[in-house]
A and B are shown apart, each in its own frame.
Chain A
């Protein structure tokens, strides 16, 4: 069974802090994704990566960056957290031939 693990279920950070959200998958998937989930807006793609050290912007990349140094790990970075980045963050992995598998999410609150 595919497992996508997000390091934290809940995070509370202050405005201006640098925040790291970590995600690890155990199925050797090439592709990894970071989505943000907000009520009434569904899941919106922030960034994705199709290979180590490769990244592409999604629909809402502003205020975020990512890092993929190893195939199994994909990190989302908020350089300077703001209150409008309070949200649920979902990591996913997959291949071009398989469905996406999601982690259980990290609920981030920025105060």
Chain B
């Protein structure tokens, strides 16, 4: 099955700085790549997603890039704020709904 690796496992950034999380996937047939944010005591929530026919997607301070050749994709958060502190998961799927997740990145934004 699909194998998704995510790095780093923890990330501490100063408020206002950028944060970058990187993921690689194993199956070149994967075509859907969502990112989820999980706050304490809650389930993961989708923050942005990208499909394999697109190289980059932006939504305000969040962007995702995809390199199909290298089989990796990244999440970029600019101008980080304390409310960005959470656990972030990347995922990949071949069919649109059966997701394989990375191990997660705990992001801490220091005030």
User: Which residues does A use to contact B, with CB under 8 Å?
Assistant: 4, 31, 33, 35, 40-45, 48, 59, 90, 92, 94-97, 99-105
Other-chain contact of A104, B36, B41, B99, B100 (Cβ < 8 Å): B41
**What is the total of A-B residue contacts with beta carbons within 8 Å?**
54
Do most interface residues of chain A lie in helix, strand or loop, or is the interface mixed?
A: strand
Q: A31-B97, A59-B1 are in contact. Are A99 and B46 (CB under 8 A)?
A: yes
Q: How many Å lie between the Cα of A69 and that of B110 in the bound state?
A: 48
Decide if B97 touches A96 in the complex (CB within 8 Å): yes
User: Which residues does B use to contact A, with CB under 8 Å?
Assistant: 1, 4, 6, 9, 34, 36, 41-46, 49, 89, 91, 95-104
Do most interface residues of chain B lie in helix, strand or loop, or is the interface mixed?
A: loop
**A–B pairs, 19, beta carbons within 8 Å:** A4-B43, A33-B98, A40-B103, A42-B6, A42-B89, A42-B101, A42-B102, A43-B89, A48-B98, A90-B44, A92-B43, A96-B95, A96-B96, A96-B97, A99-B34, A99-B49, A100-B34, A100-B99, A102-B43
